Structure 1
Amino acid sequence: MSMHVTLVLAGVDIPGSGLLSEGRRDAATGQWTLPPAAGRRVNGLEATQTERRFDLVELDRFRYDSPANIAAWVTHLTGVESALRLLNVGPGMLSTGTMPEYLYDRTGGVVGLLERLIEDGCREAMDTKHETLTEALLDSITIDLTHAPDRDPAAGEIPAVPPPRRTPGKRHRNTVLDDRGPAGATG
């Protein structure tokens, strides 16, 4: 405790993970065990000594329900777009027009889902040589974290993905089953 440092740790369900719990030796098995995470009180001193030494700051998903929350989302998007290295990136590509609302609808304000969508979108933008992100391009991207080897579903590291947005009245043609008429006919 004589070290004057600040540690910033990030994770999902830190209290439930046992990271800040004190292990106790189980007399029956001789193994070290961590007590269950229920019944914690930090100021009421029921929490372990280790837990009382940390200030837990919980960061939730972005919200899109007030001018201040929308401004925070747009500010975050501005920071993300400033770090993109696509050839046709322009100011406001992610943070102006209908794009902020579109990105919120696709990700529910979850930064990890936004990161996955933008990363996959950039890869597609480079592969197709568009070098820019548009709603049409992002509509072709499916957010899928189920096969992410570095994420633990049991720890809550894979959030629920909002269903894709459907634009009313916009139907895509099924060109596979289009009847082009008899062979040799022009039309």
Structure 2
Amino acid sequence: MTEKFDPPPDEPLTTKEGWSRWVQRDLNPPELIWNLDQLSLEEKATYDEVRLDYHSDLIVVNTPTIQEIIKTIRRLLVLNRRQVSARRGLIVTGPAGTGKTTAITQLGRAHELGVRLRNPIKGPRIPVVYVTVPPAATPRMVAVEFARFLGLPFGPRHNITDVTNAVCAVLCDVGCELVLIDEIHNISLTTRSGAEVSDQLKYFSERLPATFVYAGIDVERVGLFSGTRGKQIASRFATIATRPFAYGSKTQRDNWRALVATLESALRLQHHKTDTLTRHSEYLYQRTHGMLGSLSHLIRGAAIDTILDGTEKITKAHLEAIRLDHAAETTPAATSAAATKQSKTGVA
């Protein structure tokens, strides 16, 4: 059975303990047990709980965007090996719900597993750091986020220089190669504190022999590339945009059906028939508007309901019973004709 990943509330991904547990968790799907009548009530409850836990963390689909991000970063990691300054980085940007956080965390997980496989050395090693930019962040707050990931004890009496120097020393010692910084849209270069946070991140990138990856919502629209500091960021970082899936052309519709089929194949339900969801691919597109996060939530939520109600197969009624995010629920559903028109006019 799949090991349950249930980190303590004080061990999120933004701590080395939470990140390590998440990276090393078992992703193998649980095996279906067909002779359920031979299970005791306790065994059946355990079996259901394992599958409920599995569907709460369904597989990540290796979409073309994730493939491009991983390929780009692998290239940058090599290019940056002998750079002593002005290392190149990547910014993943796009609308909310299009998989930015999923993409960079999967990138980090793949890189860390690869490092540990190639270099099974003993001793402390932290090849990947994952932090988020707090709202209304200051340079010290960002430095403390790095320290918190590492578990370094810093109090209010320690100044930003103390925190920064300690963080850089530790990350160099533990062989950090990849720094993932999420929620970068919380930085506004039009404010003094935002400009100072940008400078702090730049200082980290110059002190650490690592490749930096930023992720945020529509970063160009929020002004990340504006002004002198923004131009410097633009000159050092490539950008990859995440977008909703399109549904206009036959190829786009085939890609969407393939995505639905991949998610459907990962289900672990007793009576669900293959291709049931792919037959509803247009309905799923209308419900989710091509948003990968909404689609995953819809299918996983329906799967959980079928386990709880004992039917063990997803029907359209199960799908209709799932409440999605506000954006998906309030945006008018696009018809195939409208989607085709969007495709022809270049609207994603």
Q: With structure 2 as the length reference, what TM-score do the two structures score?
A: 0.33
Aligned residues: percent identity? 24
Paired amino acid for 1:110: M
Q: How far did 1:46 drift?
A: 7.5
Aligned to 2:196: 32
Paired amino acid for 1:38: G
Asked if 1:58 is matched to 2:241, the reply is yes
Pair 62,37 (structure 1): closer, same or farther in 2 beyond 3 Å: closer
Q: Deviations over 1:125-149 (max 9, x none)?
A: 1111111111122122222x47xxx
Q: How does 1:1-187 map to 2 (within 5 A)?
A: 1-2=80-81, 10-11=100-101, 16-18=185-187, 32-34=196-198, 37-38=222-223, 40=225, 47-96=230-279, 99-143=280-324, 145=325, 159-162=327-330
SS in 2 for 1:57: strand
SS in 1 for 2:262: helix
Paired amino acid for 1:32: E
Pair 37,6 (structure 1): closer, same or farther in 2 beyond 3 Å: closer
Paired amino acid for 1:92: D
Instruction: Give the root-mean-square deviation of aligned CA atoms.
Output: 4.1
Q: How far did 1:54 drift?
A: 2.7
Which protein has the larger Cα radius of gyration, Structure 1 or Structure 2? 1
Aligned to 1:169: none
Q: How far did 1:163 drift?
A: 6.3
Separation in 2, partners of 1:47, 1:6? 14
CA contact (8 A) 1:106 1:163 kept: no
Pair 69,51 (structure 1): closer, same or farther in 2 beyond 3 Å: same
Separation in 2, partners of 1:65, 1:142? 25
CA contact (8 A) 1:108 1:162 kept: no
With 3-12 and 84-93 compared, the bigger mean Cα shift is at: 3-12
Q: Deviations over 1:56-78 (max 9, x none)?
A: 11121112222111111001011
SS in 2 for 1:62: coil
Pair 91,51 (structure 1): closer, same or farther in 2 beyond 3 Å: same
Aligned to 1:181: none
Aligned to 2:62: none
Separation in 1, partners of 2:231, 2:81? 19
SS in 2 for 1:161: helix
Aligned to 1:153: none
Count of residues in Structure 1 that have an aligned counterpart in Structure 2: 141
CA contact (8 A) 2:303 2:313 kept: yes
Query: Which structure dedicates a bigger proportion of its chain to helix?
Result: 2
CA contact (8 A) 2:260 2:281 kept: yes
Q: How far did 1:7 drift?
A: 6.9
Separation in 1, partners of 2:303, 2:331? 21
Pair 133,3 (structure 1): closer, same or farther in 2 beyond 3 Å: farther
With 103-112 and 85-94 compared, the bigger mean Cα shift is at: 85-94
Q: How far did 1:90 drift?
A: 2.5
CA contact (8 A) 2:91 2:238 kept: no
With 102-111 and 133-142 compared, the bigger mean Cα shift is at: 133-142
Q: With structure 1 as the length reference, what TM-score do the two structures score?
A: 0.58
Separation in 2, partners of 1:3, 1:124? 52
Unaligned runs of 5+ in 1: 147-158, 166-187
